[in-house]
Amino acid sequence: MKKINIAFDLDSVLVDPMPCFKKVIKKRYGAKIISHDTWHIVIEPEISLDEFIASWQEAYELWPEVKILPGARSLLRRLCTMAPDDPVKIITARRYEAANATYSLIKDRLMPKDGLFDLTVAPRCDKSKYLYHHRYFVEDRVKNVISLVKSDIHVFMTDWPWNQHCEPHPNVRRIVGVNELLPGCENFIIEV
Cβ(124)–Cβ(93) below 8 Å: yes
pLDDT computed for residue 77 by the predictor: 97
Beta strands 172-175 and 154-158: pairing type? Answer: parallel
Give CA–CA dist 100/97, Å, rounded: 8
Q: What is the pLDDT of residues 68-122, one digit of tens each?
A: 999 999 999 999 999 999 999 999 988 888 899 999 999 999 999 999 999 999 8
Task: Tell me the residue length of the chain.
Answer: 192
Cβ neighbourhood burial of 175 (10 Å; 0-12, 13-18, 19+)? middle
Average pLDDT estimate for 47-63: 92
Looking at the structure, give the CATH architecture of the domain made up of residues 2-15+69-191: 3-Layer(aba) Sandwich (3.40)
Smallest CA-to-CA distance from 117 within 102, 128, 95 is with 102
| CB neighbours of residue 172 within 10 Å | 20
pLDDT of 57 over the 80 cut: yes
Percent of the chain with pLDDT over 70: 98
pLDDT of 39 over the 80 cut: no
Cβ neighbourhood burial of 157 (10 Å; 0-12, 13-18, 19+)? buried
Domain residue spans of the chain? 2-15+69-191, 18-65
Q: What is the pLDDT of residues 155-180, one digit of tens each?
A: 999 999 889 888 889 999 999 999 99
pLDDT band at 181 (very low <50, low <70, confident <90, very high): very high
pLDDT computed for residue 42 by the predictor: 82
Give CA–CA dist 76/60, Å, rounded: 21
Give CA–CA dist 94/96, Å, rounded: 7
Give CA–CA dist 72/177, Å, rounded: 8
Which helix or strand (DSSP H or E) is residue 5 part of? Answer: none
